[in-house]
Amino acid sequence: MNTQDEMADNSLSGPNWGGFEQLRLSDDTNAVNVTIGSSERWDKAHLRRLRQSADLPGLVPVIDSDFASDGKPFAVTPVVDSETLADRIPPSGSEWEDCAAITEAAARASHEAHLRGLFHGALSPDQVHVLDNDVAVSGIGLGLGGTPSEDYAHWVAPEVRDGGDPTERSDVYSLGKILEASLGNAIEDVPRSVRRLIMWSSSDTPEARPPSALEFASILAEAMGEDRATYSPAFIPTADTNDLASTAPEAVAAFTPGEGSGSSSLGTGAAIAGAGAAAIGAAAIASSLGDDDDAVDAVADAVVDDPDLEVDPDVLADAVDTGELPAEAVVDADPDVDAELEVDEPADIEAAAVATTELGTETADLSADLEDADTSVFDSQEYSDELAGTAADPDYDVPAAAQTVDLDQPFEPERRGNRAGILVGAIMAATLGVVLWGLLNSGDDSTDTADPAPTETTVPAEDEDDSGAAAGTDGGTATDEGNADDEVAGPGAEEEEPSTTTEAPTTTVAEDEAPEDEAPVEDEAPEEEVEPAPPAATVDGPITAEDAGIQVLHGIPGAEVDVYVNGQALAPGFTAGTIAGPANLDPGDYDIELFAASDTPPVSSADRSDDPVISQTVTVGADPATLVAHLDANGNPTLSAFAEDFEPLDPGTARVQLRHLAAAPGVQAIIDGEPADGLLEPGREAVLTLSAGEHTIETTTADGTPVKSATLTLADGEVAAVSVIGSAADDNIAVVVQRYTGLSTAPAAVPTGNSNLLADGEDPTALYILGIMTSLMAIAGGVLMLRRSRQVL
């Protein structure tokens, strides 16, 4: 998180972020950039993806993308000489709100590109163009196969710096850095959730970042509230540049990379933007003009005439004085500094281009100095410290990869209840375990026991726990457990719920009274010899929540037991890791006896000659639940019951009920690399709401020793009860998963139109084009000029 260190520590080999050359083509009124891509990585599919992004609002479009006659892949993009986010950084006063809104728009635009398989890799404020109330991002998809410039290292995710391909999450990293810069010194004043978002996005571990740019935008939007400023995606018109673009293949084929290509085009831009000056224009234009004094003047004029370009003469002059910025790069950038700038070889403007090339090697130092001087970037060191402090804060909650995680909510697990209330006392023997449910047809009770499972309005029996879990949240977002049958709960409220709660098992398992009164209902005592109980059938596939009923999980590895319910044998073959059920069981008490496994277990426990290892009465409620035979923290077999949480899920989410049922001390749960708060104690569960998709759930001991890890692919609307069973001492810890489907909800709405084109023939596109045209820079000179350009994308 230490910005300065990052800048200093990066020793990058690549000369150029994209690893590409860039040409500038221009005519009377238009200009385009031609990016020559990596021959290895820009295949047909990539070119197609680039072309398909052409019509996307919010991106500086790719006008054309193809192979030149010599096989070099290229992409043509318009030159958008607009204000950029870099021009607004650092913000003063309340400007940070706009900067944050622009960042949000950039994130949404990036998401659209990501959906299409295009990633940036080195997104930075100077590539976020601001056109009035519209935003367009440039450079997406152009960096594939390149190595990032060290000058951009601050914005580049570590895995991309190390040579990895840009990904959705690497762009999220950049967005986090951009957001950080967008806030400037207001970092102290922003909602805590915004600071957490930055911290979350800046994780060195890609998996620990928000999973998508949309997620990033969503969290930011929520943190900033309904009344925040909003920016729309900009349409950059390309019709006027098509002719120019059509000359690109020829230009690319004619282009020969110069030996000076060890410079960084982006680095130049970064340094100059960092200087707070708009020498971007100067450098770019200087490199595309001819070799004479008039050209120098043209550069100066172009810069001075553009109101968006604000040159800080002192900064530039200082930079030149110290040799950090070649004078040629800022020739006459501002009339006021004429006298201070000595142009060594004004006649050789070509030197300006070369100078800007060389600048690339010096930009890191320059940027660092500027930061010291506090002329541009806010004090990142201080902020980093604060973030570090936040991370160490015991209140630190679990970002996880959860769609519903609210980073602003302190995670305060509710530890309620007393395990003694739920566990049956300790037992002996190491054999054992298990449980069971009443037989489906306990004699004439059968009519009752076959009651259908609760239907879709299932309300889990854990109201008390929910309300407790919601305690300590703010914003009036307490869990609304009374609304289990609401079709789609208010998304906003749902998302602010704490995603993790720790719950004690809910169903009670009472201490045994001998089941003598409860003689087995089915009293047709076998006349014949006691015979072994038959093996049970198996079933595959997930269970719908609707049908979940009561299940029994054997969670004691290595133990062989015979289980009897109300005196009747449950089928043998019920081994550790096996789930029996579901069964629709009448609420009530069931007598459960566990015996050490016998080769020929009698059907009725009355026929057993040995004594039960455990004899308990289990009370089964009306709601779906799982009874688990497992080891307690001390390695003693015990019995616990957990109610399943079958609240409907928000669209695109899944729920994990993580249960620590192993003979091990409290464990630290780590979801997708991000530690949950506090330890999960033996016999307890943590309830996590995660996005549908793949997640890694690790558990470690308090000192970080791995206990067990599992990777789960969760479906939309799925509930997975993940039980960690076994014994650390016996080295047989295992993970057992029960999956339930059917809790998904549909999207709240399908927003598919905002322009009323169905009603009338008026074409609002004209307005977009008009707005953007006024921002496009007119480049001097009537001739088509081709010159290598070192220009920010």
Partner 1 sequence: MNQRLAAGAFLLAISMAVVGAATTAFNIPDDADTVAIGSEVVSVQPVGAARAQVPLRSGFLDSQASEVDESTFPVAVRIAGIGLEAPVLSVGVDERNDFDVPAADTVGWYKYSSTPGSAGTTVLAAHVDYAGREGAFFNLEDVAVGDVLEVEMADGSIMTYQVTESILYDKTELPAEDLFRKDGDSTLQLITCGGDFDPAERSYRGNLVVTAEPLDA
Which residues, numbered 646-685, are part of the site for partner 1 (CB under 8 A)? 650-652
Under rule CB under 8 A, residue 618 binds partner 1 = no
Q: Name, in order, each residue with C-beta under 8 angstroms of 681's C-beta and a sequence gap of 6 or more.
A: 415, 633, 660, 666
What distance in Å separates the CA atoms of residue 776 and residue 774, rounded to the nearest whole number?
6
| Of 435, 421, 318, residue with least CA distance to 366 | 318
Q: Which of residues 183-202 bind partner 1 (CB under 8 A)?
A: none
Instruction: Report the residue from 517, 758, 782, 783 that binds partner 1 according to the rule CB under 8 A.
Output: 758
Task: Give, as ranges, the residues between 83 and 122 that touch partner 1 (CB under 8 A).
Answer: 112, 115-116
Q: Exactly one of 2, 4, 29, 52 binds partner 1 (CB under 8 A); which one?
A: 52
Applying CB under 8 A, the span of 72-80, 83-91, 296-304, 748-756 interacting with partner 1 comes to 748-756
Among 67, 437, 564, 595, binds partner 1 (CB under 8 A): 437
Shortest Å distance, C-beta 155 to partner 1: 24
When asked if residue 277 is in the footprint of partner 1 (CB under 8 A), the reply is no
User: Residue type at 47?
Assistant: L
Cα angle value 179/282/341 (rounded, 5°): 110
Residue 78 contacts partner 1 per CB under 8 A? no
* Binders in 401-420 for partner 1, by CB under 8 A: none
Task: Determine, following the binding rule CB under 8 A, whether residue 613 of this chain makes contact with partner 1.
Answer: no
**Binders of partner 1 among 226-265, rule CB under 8 A?**
232-233, 235
761 binds partner 1 (CB under 8 A): no
Are 77 and 35 in contact, with CB atoms under 8 Å apart?
A: yes
State the number of binding residues for partner 1 (CB under 8 A). Answer: 104
Site for partner 1 contains 600 (CB under 8 A)? no
Least Cβ distance, residue 57 to partner 1 (angstroms): 5
- Work out which of 172, 504, 664, 736 binds partner 1, going by CB under 8 A: 736
- 23 bridge partner residues: 34, 788
* DSSP 8-state code for residue 533: P
From 1-9, 245-253, 504-512, 534-542, give the range in contact with partner 1 by CB under 8 A: 534-542
Q: Does the footprint of partner 1 cover residue 629 (CB under 8 A)? A: no
Shortest distance in whole angstroms from residue 605 CB to partner 1: 12
372-403 per-residue burial string, b: 16 or more CB within 10 A, e: under 16: eeebbbbbbeebbeebeeeeeeeebbbbbbbb
Structure tokens that stand for 52 in this block:
């398909």
Q: Is 41 helix (H, G, I), strand (E, B) or coil?
A: coil
Q: Among the candidate windows 238-246, 568-576, 699-707, 773-781, which touches partner 1 by CB under 8 A? A: 568-576
Do the beta carbons of residue 78 and residue 32 sit within 8 Å? yes
Q: DSSP letter string over 154-203?
A: GGS-HHHHTTPPP-HHHHHHHHHHHHHHHHGGGGGTS-HHHHHHHHHHT-
Q: Looking at residue 111, what DSSP letter applies?
A: H
Based on C-alpha coordinates, what's the Rg of the chain? 33
Region binding partner 1 by CB under 8 A among candidate stretches 367-375, 393-401, 468-476, 736-744: 736-744
**Binding partner 1 by CB under 8 A: which of 335, 526, 587, 706?**
526
User: Which of 16/77 has CB closer to partner 1?
Assistant: 77
Instruction: Give yes or no for residue 13 binding partner 1 (CB under 8 A).
Output: no
Question: Does an H or E element contain 709, and which?
Answer: strand 706-714
d(CA 481, CA 646): 11
C-alpha torsion 579→584→588→592, nearest 10: -30
The contact pattern for partner 1, residues 496-515, with x = CB under 8 A and - = no contact, is --------------------
- Whole-angstrom distance, CA of residue 272 vs CA of residue 319: 10
Based on the shown chain and the rule CB under 8 A, indicate whether residue 349 belongs to the binding site for partner 1: no
Asked if residue 715 binds partner 1 (CB under 8 A), the reply is yes
CB-based contacts of 8, cutoff 8 Å, min separation 6 = 364, 368
List binders of partner 1 among 469-498 (CB under 8 A): 487-488, 491-492, 494-495
Site string for partner 1, 452-471 (x = CB under 8 A): xx-x----------------
Q: Which of 359, 23, 317 is nearest to 331 (CA)?
A: 317
Candidate residues 99, 580, 679, 687; the one interacting with partner 1 per rule CB under 8 A:
580
- Of 420 and 759, the one with the shorter C-beta distance to partner 1 is 759
Cα distance between residue 549 and residue 128, in whole Å: 54
540 near partner 1 (CB under 8 A): yes
Q: Which of 765, 770, 773, 774 binds partner 1 (CB under 8 A)?
A: 765
Cα gap 393→363, rounded to integer Å: 36
Query: Which residue in the set 7, 213, 712, 776 belongs to the binding site for partner 1 (CB under 8 A)?
Result: 712
Closest separation in Å from C-beta 273 to partner 1: 28
**Closest CB 359 distance from partner 1, rounded Å:** 37
Among 262, 534, 587, 706, binds partner 1 (CB under 8 A): 534
**Site residues for partner 1, window 201-230 (CB under 8 A)?**
214, 217-219, 221-222
581 binds partner 1 (CB under 8 A): yes
Residue 373 or 539 having the CB closest to partner 1: 539
Question: CB atoms < 10 A from the CB of 704, how many?
Answer: 9
User: Which residues are paired to 707 by β-bridges?
Assistant: none
CB of 446: closest distance to partner 1 in angstroms?
A: 6
Alpha helical stretches, state H, 186-276:
192-201, 213-224, 242-246, 248-254, 265-274
Whether 592 and 639 have beta carbons less than 8 Å apart is answered as: yes
